[in-house]
Each structure stands twice: as structure tokens, then as C-alpha cells.
Structure 1
Amino acid sequence: MSGKKITDYDYLFLTSALRAKESKMLTKDRANRMLDVPGFEEAAKLLVECGYTDMSGMQAEEIEKTLSAHRKEAFEDIRKLIPETSVLDVFNLKYDYHNIKVLLKAESTGVDGKYLLSGSGTVSAEALTEAYNSEDSSSLLPSKLATALEEARSVIRRTENPQLADFILDKACFEEMRELAEKVYSPFLSEYVKLAIDGANLRATVRTLRIRRDENFLQNALISGGNIDVEALAEAAYTEVGFVPLFDSSEYRAAAELGAEALKGGKLTEFEKECDNVLIRFFAVAQSISFGAPPVIAYIAALENEITAVRMILTGKLTGAEPLLIGERLRDISA
């Protein structure tokens, strides 16, 4: 495809292939059936019809490894057919930065978090671990990832504050996502990244206010590149009017209102859930598009949402949580 302008038609075959897979995905009905069965084993067996490995005999660590492998395999299948690898890389990137956070936490706490490493990044977990343990990660990793790793590690060693390291990694991750999205012919991916940044900033604002940190702390947490101006958000958060009016014309309006309620004693879970549902509703728009990048992007997002739902249900069942409690935490599932 080098030198050729990408169009919707280049996505025709992949879109058709993914449409065929959609019938096996987790639906609301299937999720409810998993919640309704009496035990973990029965719930896990129901997932086999969705193409998952039978996890009925597994514990939490094995479940996490299996879900990571399921996502990795699905991503690899898509990569073989996708006309623009940048589309998939936008979704892969967060697993690179997630893996750095796991390695930093393991080093600072002395606890082995190897099972939490994801194989779905742009760099394999093994290669990233090798680079992390080397004296010169810049020669083993993409430059931006290596720079973020070293900056985060330096901050943690200097301050012993993992939160500051997370700020560095989150900003670097979204900056790369934004740059990659801009390379794709369809603006749908860039719109998603901007919306995701708005959601991350809204979450950061509510969390910062809940723990009563100052405006400087919030400014360090906020990420540029979204639809909502970060300077205006940081300033508004500490005024009597508050941050909610900034989101009046945003898809996050209801989430912002729930965030304000959470600061007055409301449920934080409702706020978090609505933030996630904003993105789910955004991707749902692509379901009416016959072929092109948007339905492929929406499928990738739906797959990730499905894996999150599966993890919530199975770990909840494994620990004996009430079905109603598990269901309250589930994000929207299409169909």
C-alpha cells in the first residue's frame, strides 16, 4: 500500500471479516446469563461459545494471562489484514506504558508482577523487560517510549512518588496516540483520542479534588490535546462554579455532573462507569457504517470492552461477589 492513498475500500475485506466475528462476541444477554448462573465454573464455560479458552479451572492469575493472550491473538489477526497499522498501534500503545508501570511498581515494592505484563503492546513484554533491566534502554526501545521510561524511573527514584511517574507515562502515551491517529486517513481515530483525553482529564480532576490536592498537582496530571482546554479546566476546578460548565457541550456532560455529585458523597463508580460509556457510545456510531476504518476501530474497542467485562464477571464470580454488584460495575455492552 506504500505511496497509495488509503480509502474506505481498502478496509472492505477486513471489515467483512470482523463483521463475521461479531456474532460470537459477548452480548448483554450472554453477560446476564454469566451473572445468573450459580458459580464461577458455569460462568467461565459459557465464554467458550464466544471463542475463549475454557477458564473454568483457573485462578485469578491464570485468568489474567489467558485474557491477555486472547487479546494478543485477536490483535495479531487484525494486524495481518489492516491497511494502516497505525490504527492498531493506537490501541497497542497503552499496553507498552502499562507494562512500564508494572515494572516500576515491581522494582519499588519488590513484588513480582510478571503475570500482569501484557503481550498486546507494540513492543513485546520480554523485550520491554530486557530494556528496562539494561543500562541503555534507548538502544532497545522506540525513542519516545525509552525517553518516557527513563523520565518516569528517574522521578520515582528521586521522589519515591509513583503518581508523578504515572503522570509522565500517561502524557507520553496520549501524545504518541494522538500523533499516530493523525496519520490515519479517517478522522474517526483522532476524534476518539481527543475524547479519551477529555475523559482522562475529567477523571484526574475529580480524583484530585477528592483527595484535596492543589491546582498545581492537577495541572501536572492533566493532558493536553483534548477538546477541553486544560488550563481552563485546572482553573475552573477550584472556583465556586466548578468544572461542570466546561463540559456542557461535551459528550461528558452527564459524567461531569456525576463527578460533581461524587465529590459531594455520590457514588464514584457511577461516575467512572459513565466516563467509559461515553467512549462506548462514540464507537457505537460506527456500527451503521458499512465498511472503512471506523467500523474496524469500533471492533477493536468493542473487543477491549468485552475483555474488561469478562474480567469483571469472572473475578467477581471467583471471589463470590453478588451478581447485582458485579452487574452495577459493568460498562455498556452492545447488542
Structure 2
Amino acid sequence: MRPAARGADAVADAATPAGARVARPAPVPKAGRMADPRRAGLSILLVFLAPALLVYLGLTAYPAVRTVLDSLFTIEGTERSFVGIANYRDLLADETFRVAVRNTFVWAFVAPVLDVATGLLLALALYAGVPFARFLRVAWFTPVLLSYVVVAILWMWLYNYDWGVVNEALRAVGLGALARSWLGDPNTALSALIVTHAWKWAGFNMVVCLAAIHSLPSEVLEAAELDNCGWGAKLRHVIVPMLWPTLLNLYVLAFIGKMKVFDLVWIMTGGGPLWATETVSTYVYKRAFNWNTFDLGYPSAIATVWFGVVCAAVMILNRVFRSRDRLEY
């Protein structure tokens, strides 16, 4: 201790009554592991991560690994016979699987364009201030809250050949020749399902696009209006380029969802007619549980291949859609 500090302590001790304790300041903790709450020990981290890790391992990781292992076997009940890659060789010659892949790719690449475009148009309508905007915002978002069962049954009624709203409207305007069994015709069944799916999810895309539009800088939009930029030009040259990252993210999300579409197809058409709406998910279910083949190895091989296809497609899309010139505003 320095002399000045030693002298100050002596004066303090002299002024303190005998037998009384001098209150010393609490020692400042050294910079260590417990001083920073962000640097917790491994045991504390495990306590908080354990529930989520157990759920992930039990419901995601283990089923995925088990599916890959089962694809190397022929499984009939409790009997398992190792066949190696025989299931994958059979998959290459499976004509139904090729049709299911083609239909799923149509779903995954074409349908998201319709979903995102519809959501963007609805958002622009609300942003422009159409009449009854508050009511329309709720009405357009309501289908998102409905289950696939309700949506499927509702649109099966709309597509009914005899009394469905679609055919009745065509007959009312003199286009009765265009009326058909929309879900029973192989040429229109897949398109009818895509329209139904777009109707259900357009509200979700609308909300996201509307929030993105409201977050755009008002200075840019006002400058476009001062330059007498019409709605079409402003949409093409100002709004869409600034919304491009949001639209791409919506497209990727829709792509992932449609690569595994099952509910709507199974309820409305069951994959028919004549495999026109068969998807990979419905085909896996049929081979595993619906065709009484009693072999879980082959559908496991289909699921394994499709899992790899989905992962590869998502990585390719992320790389293709990665914005090199990031927009700053």
C-alpha cells in the first residue's frame, strides 16, 4: 500500500470507536466465467437445451435415420431381410414414381408463382385503399385459418359437375361447353388442385407482402409519384425490385411446402384420376399402408431419395436467389 493510503487508514482507525468494525467496500469480482451471465457453464447449457434436443432427436433425427436404414431391408411385419440397394434399383424402373415426381415438381415450381403473385396483388389492392379494405383483409386471410379437410370439401362442392358453382357460372354466361368434371378429368385435375391450394395460402402471402410494402421508404414512393410514375411503372420499377427479397423468401417457403404436399391431394382426388395428381407423398403412403404390400422397405427408399432431392433443391434455390447487390434503404 502506498504511504498516502496507509496514512488515511490510520486516521480512519483513530476516529473509529474502540471495538467497532470498520465497513470495508465489497471486493470487486474478478472477470471470470460467472461474472458474465452470457458465459454459462456446459452443465447449465445442457439443462436448457436438453428438452429441445430430446424432442428433436426423438421426433426428427431418429425417424430420419431409421428410414434410411429401413430402405436397405425388405420389411414384412417383424421380419427384416437385408437387400442392400435393391429397393433403389427397383425405384429407377418404377413408372408410377416417375409420374409422381413429375406432378410434384409441377406443384413445387409452378404453384408457388401463383401463390406469391396472388398474395402480392391482394396486398397491392389493400395498399391502394380499395373499398371495404378492412373487411377484405379479414375475408382474404380467413382461408389460411381453415384446415385442409374443410378447404378440400368446400372446393369439391365448387367443382361438382352437376351443381357446382364453377360449372353453374359457366352455364349462366353461355359457356356451358366448358363445364366439365374438373377433378375427374386427368387434364384439369392437377390444375384444379393448384388453384385450390393457392386460394388457401394467398392470404398468408398477402399479409407478408403488405407488411413489406408498408416498410418501404416513403421518400422513394413519393419521388416516383412526383415524376408522374403510373401504378404499372411504379409497381414494375420501384415496388417489385424493393420487394424482391421478400418475394423470393415466400417462393422458397412455398416450394418446400409443396414438395411434400399430401393432405389436399389425398382428400380431393387420392392421387387420381389415372395418377394425374399423384405426388411423392401420396405414393409413399399408398406403398406403405394402402396397397397391402406389407413392405416398409420400398417406401422408405422413396422417402430417402425424396429427402435428398428436397435438400438439394432448397440449397440450389438459395444459391440462385441469393442477392448479390443487396438493396439498402
Q: Give the alignment's TM-score, normalised by structure 2.
A: 0.27
User: Which is bigger in relative contact order (C-alpha 8 A, separation at least 6)?
Assistant: 2
Radius of gyration: which is bigger? Answer: 2
